[in-house]
Amino acid sequence: MHEDKYNTVMYETAIQYLTTILDGDTWAFDKLTKTKMFWEWWKRQWERRENSFSQIHQLYKIDAKDYNEVSEIIHELWLEVHSIESLNIYPNNVVMEATYREMIGEAIGGDERKKGGTA
């Protein structure tokens, strides 16, 4: 898979994941997608699934001459591993606390600016 496509799948899966776990909370979605902490956490989770996928399916053992025969199956399995239906992960407290601090700081700072105060 080309790197651009790979990154697009990773990003779109994150967006689908957040849409699902936040259950329509567009404010939290907007704030969470803008936090560095969430994206670092997401990338770590993605890498864990990648490593697990590679080990479980022993991709390193596939001979190059046989790869074309199994590439479509491998791709389908890979998409399944990264589908939101198969994810049973939730951001840990460190991610959520940092995200909430950013969201609350922005909300309070935004309210202060609206009132004519300083942030």
Q: For residue range 57-93, list pLDDT tens digits in order.
A: 665 566 666 666 777 777 788 778 778 787 777 777 7
DSSP letters spanning 40-66: HHHHHHHHHHHHHHHHHTTGGGS-HHH
- CA gap 50, 62 in Å, rounded: 16
Q: Report whether pLDDT(6) > 80.
A: yes
Average pLDDT, the chain: 78
The tokens describing 109, both together, are 């700072």
> For the whole model, what pTM was predicted?
0.67
Tell the residue number behind the tokens 């936040």, with chain if given. 22
- If you compute the radius of gyration of the chain from its CA atoms, what whole number of angstroms results? 19
Q: Give me the residue spans of the domains in the chain.
A: 3-114
